[in-house]
Amino acid sequence: MREFGYAAPADVPAVLSRKAATPAARYYGGGTTLFDLMKLGVEGPVSVIDVTRCDALQTLEAGRSEWRLGAAMTMADVAADAALQREFPALAESLWKAASPQIRNMATLGGNLLQRTRCAYFRGTPAYACNKREPGSGCSALEGVNRGHAVLGGSEHCVATYPGDLAVALVAFDAVLELRSPRGPRTLAVIDLHREPGSTPHLETTLADDELIVAIRVPRAPATRASVYHKVRDRESYAFALASAAVGLQMDGGRVVDVRIGLGGVATRPWRARAAERQLLGQPLTRESARQAAESAFAEARPLYHNRFKVALGIDVLTDALMQSKARL
């Protein structure tokens, strides 16, 4: 790892001022992703700006119409909040099913949303071609070992899977980000944060380089109270999803009146399964109808040689998540 500068301003204005003075600096929270990539030589910022000293980024507020989660709160602290567990169980589950206790105690919400892929070709030596790491070099995963890669949202330039869990639930629940930069504030829907790779896999988000995630706002809705985050992985803990589903459900008279579905582990970005949602609205929810909706969510899947199993697995995971959510009503 190369030497780098470090600053820890005490408030958001000071963070933004530091960024304006040092444009090449990187924001960081717990450092659980950035420092790892710096040690691998994938990232090499000349300076980092620690945002965890800013009290304004570490508040948890339950408002009348939405919850507001400070971006520098740790995954562990948010997952442990009893009121959030009752109202947004899928959010809490997406956090405590991620990583390890040690990482959850350090990693921040904002940093978690911005974590980069675990594709071994991206994180490996420069001998492997990776358009995400070096634009125009190629994608070794297309013809290589691609068991963990995406079946949805990929392109001929990249099939790397988005690895996170929290963003999958936030996408399902129409969450919005509060952003700040030296140029002022703006809001951004979480579903618009991550890009599909297309021909520019190295451009992973729609954030400007100087924009800081300040908070996450999650609207209250009846469907979130019976929500579920269901995750299947190679081992029970400290492993990324092979397939996951965040589901929120509201029923009336035995029929679905609201359903929210996010998919993880199977796509190049957090994936909203709107076709499956449309298929379920107004219908009774049975295992058969749940499976039919799940199959529609994967109708456009493009599996590779080693990850073909993800289509069947993803259908099973979403079917189970829908039934688990129904059981919580």
What confidence tens digit (pLDDT) does each residue in 228-265 have?
A: 999 999 998 889 999 999 999 999 999 999 999 999 99
Q: Which residue has the tokens 């947004």?
A: 88
Instruction: Report the length, in residues, of the chain.
Output: 329
* Helix (H), strand (E) at residue 93: helix 89-96
Tell me the pTM.
0.97
Q: Give the integer Cα–Cα distance in Å for 52 and 301.
A: 39
pLDDT, mean of residues 292-310: 98
The predicted structure's pLDDT at residue 21: 95
DSSP class of 160: P
pLDDT, mean of residues 179-195: 97
β-pair type (184-189, 176-181) = antiparallel
Buried b (16+ CB within 10 A) or exposed e, 233-249: eeeeeeebbbbbbbbbb
The predicted structure's pLDDT at residue 112: 97
* Residue percentage of the chain with pLDDT more than 70: 100
Q: Give the integer Cα–Cα distance in Å for 322 and 227.
A: 9
Of the candidates 61, 83, 242, the one whose C-alpha atom is nearest the C-alpha of residue 151 is 242
Statement: residue 1 has pLDDT above 80: no
pLDDT, mean of residues 100-127: 94
Q: Identify the weakest region by mean pLDDT among 36-40, 75-79, 301-305.
A: 36-40
60: β partners = 69
Statement: residue 169 has pLDDT above 80: yes
* Helix (H), strand (E) at residue 326: helix 309-327
Residue pLDDT, tens place only, 16-51: 999 999 999 999 999 998 998 998 889 999 999 999
The predicted structure's pLDDT at residue 237: 87
244: β partners = 231, 264
Q: What is the CA radius of gyration of the chain?
A: 20
For each of the domains in the chain, give its residue range(s) and CATH number, in order of start: 222-324 (3.30.390.50)
217: β partners = 68, 176
Buried b (16+ CB within 10 A) or exposed e, 265-286: bbbbbbbbbeebbebbeeeebe
